[in-house]
Amino acid sequence: MKGTDIIAIEGMPRENVERILEVSATMQDYLDSGEVPGLLAGRIMASLFFEPSTRTQLSFTTAMQRLGGQVMGFSGTGGTSVKKGETLEDTIRMADCYADIIVERHPEPGSAARCAAVARKPVVSGGDGSNEHPTQALLDLFTIRQEKGLEGITVALCGDLKYGRTAHSLVRLLAMFGIDTILCSPQPLKMPADLVARVREACDASIRETGSLEETAAEADVLYVTRVQRERFESQQDYEAVAGSYVVDRALVESARPGMIVMHPLPRVDEIATEVDELPAARYFTQAANGIPVRMAILALLLGAA
Ligand code: NCD
C-alpha cells in the first residue's frame, strides 16, 4: 500500500482493507504494551482541515506522534492563503512540497479526489462533504470486528443516511464483507437510491430499508447511530423538520436484541441520550479510541513502514 491514497471506500480493494485491519491489531498490541516503535521517525504529516474536526484531526495527529513522526498544518482556513482566494489544488501542492503524507478534510464532495490528483505524496481523506469518510468507516469496521466478529451479524445504520458520509463509507465496507445491513432513517434522510443500488449489486448480503427504529433495534447486533448533518441542509427549516426524529434512549436499548451494541462516529447532539453512556451496550467511546491504532496503521502502511 506504500504511496497509495485513501480517498474513498468505493474502489478500494478488499485486500487493502484486510491489511489495514491486521496492522491495526498490531498497533493496538504496541499501544497496550506501552512500547510503540518509532516507525515514522523523521516523517512529517500535513494536517489540513478546511472543515471542523475533533476526533479525526486529533487522532491522526496522535497516531503520527505515537509512531515518532511530526505534524504541521491548520485547523480552519482563518490563518491561510485560502482567505486570499488560493485554490484547494494550490494549497495541496504546497503541503505536497513540505510533508511526506497529507491528511485533509474539505466540505466539497469530490474534493478528496481533487487533492489526490495534484499530490505526489499519499493523500488521506478525513471526509469530503457528504460523500465519504473512509478512515472513519475503517475504524468502525475494526470496532465491529473486535466487538462482534464479522460473521453472521446484522448491522443497522440509523439517522441521517442522506448526508452522513460515515454511513456512505461504512455501507460500502459492510457490503464488501457480505454483512447484512438495515438502513433506518426518516423518509427525507434516506440513503441516496443510486448508492443503495450500487452496494446491493456489489454483494449477496441483504440490505433492507425501514423507518422504524424500534424494529431495527430488535433485529440488529450493531446499532450505528448518526447525527443529523445540520451543516449540509439547504435551510434551517428543512433541518428542523427532521432534527430530533430519532433518539436512542435507555428504554430502546433495553428493548433491543440481547447483546446489541450502540456505536456512533460522534459528535452526538441529541440522538443518543446521555443515560445510554453507562449501559453495557454503549461502545461509541471505545470506537473513538480505536481511531488511534487504525490511523497508526494507515499512516505506517502508506508511508511504507509496515
Ligand atoms: C463525523 C464526520 O465528520 O463526518 N465525525 C467524525 O469524523 N467522527 C460525523 C459527524 O460529523 O456527524
Query: Annotated catalytic residue: which of 43, 61, 91, 105?
Result: 105
Same domain, yes or no: 94 and 177: no
User: Is-catalytic flag, 232?
Assistant: no
Mean per-residue pLDDT over the chain, rounded: 97
Average pLDDT over residues 223-250: 92
Same domain, yes or no: 212 and 114: no
Q: Which atom of ligand 1 is nearest to the CA of 226?
A: 12
Give the global pTM.
0.97
Residue 280 lies in a domain: yes
Same domain, yes or no: 107 and 149: no
Structure-model confidence comparison of residues 18 and 234, the more confident one: 18
User: Is-catalytic flag, 55?
Assistant: yes
pLDDT band at 171 (very low <50, low <70, confident <90, very high): very high
CATH number of the domain that residue 174 is part of: 3.40.50.1370
Rounded to the nearest whole angstrom, what is the distance from the C-alpha of residue 258 to the centroid of ligand 1? Answer: 28
Kindly tell me if the per-residue pLDDT of 20 is higher than 90. Answer: yes
Residue 288 per-residue DSSP state: H
Boundaries of domain holding 32: 14-133+290-302
Distance CA 200, CA 172 (A): 9
Q: Which atom of ligand 1 is nearest to the CA of 165?
A: 4
Q: Which residues contact 183 (CB under 8 A, 6 or more apart)?
A: 156, 157, 161, 171, 190, 191, 196, 207, 208, 209, 210
Grid cell locating 192: 441516496
Kindly tell me if the per-residue pLDDT of 244 is higher than 90. Answer: no
Same domain, yes or no: 122 and 195: no
User: Is-catalytic flag, 133?
Assistant: yes
Query: Annotated catalytic residue: which of 133, 264, 268, 295?
Result: 133
Average pLDDT over residues 123-147: 98
Grid cell locating 146: 473486535
What was the pLDDT predicted at 204?
86
Question: What pLDDT, in 10s, does the model give residues 28-75?
Answer: 999 999 999 999 999 999 999 999 999 999 999 999 999 999 999 999
Cα distances from 179 to residues 117, 125, 189, 200, in angstroms, run: 32, 24, 22, 11
Percent share of the chain, pLDDT over 90: 95
pLDDT band at 202 (very low <50, low <70, confident <90, very high): confident
Same domain, yes or no: 41 and 128: yes
Kindly tell me if the per-residue pLDDT of 207 is higher than 90. Answer: yes
Distance CA 169, CA 17 (A): 12
Same domain, yes or no: 271 and 197: yes
Residue 2 lies in a domain: no
Residue 5 lies in a domain: no
Mutation pick for ligand 1 pocket among 58, 133, 225, 284 (CB with most ligand atoms within 8 Å):
133
Rounded to the nearest whole angstrom, what is the distance from the C-alpha of residue 170 to the centroid of ligand 1? Answer: 12
Q: What angle do CA 59, 220, 207 make, to 5 degrees?
A: 90
Grid cell locating 13: 480493494
Kindly tell me if the per-residue pLDDT of 203 is higher than 90. Answer: no
Same domain, yes or no: 150 and 278: yes
Residue 6 lies in a domain: no
Same domain, yes or no: 141 and 129: no
Q: Using the Cα atoms of residue 133, residue 135, residue 139 and residue 142 in order, give the sign of their dihedral.
A: positive
Dihedrals phi, psi of 258, to nearest 5 degrees: -55, 135
Grid cell locating 304: 511504507
**Number of C-beta neighbours around residue 292 at 10 A:** 20
Rounded to the nearest whole angstrom, what is the distance from the C-alpha of residue 260 to the centroid of ligand 1? Answer: 22
Rounded to the nearest whole angstrom, what is the distance from the C-alpha of residue 98 to the centroid of ligand 1? Answer: 27
Mutation pick for ligand 1 pocket among 60, 266, 285 (CB with most ligand atoms within 8 Å):
266
Grid cell locating 208: 433492507
Pocket-forming residues, ligand 1, beta carbon under 6 Å: 55-56, 127, 133, 136, 165-166, 227, 265-267
CA quadruple 19, 289, 242, 187: dihedral, nearest 10: 30
User: Is-catalytic flag, 93?
Assistant: no
Distance CA 128, CA 198 (A): 19
Residue 49 lies in a domain: yes
User: Is-catalytic flag, 200?
Assistant: no
Please name the residue whose Cα sits nearest to atom 8 of ligand 1.
265
**Number of C-beta neighbours around residue 276 at 10 A:** 21
Q: How many domains does the chain have?
A: 2
Residue 7 lies in a domain: no
Distance CA 75, CA 5 (A): 21
Residue 25 lies in a domain: yes
Kindly tell me if the per-residue pLDDT of 124 is higher than 90. Answer: yes
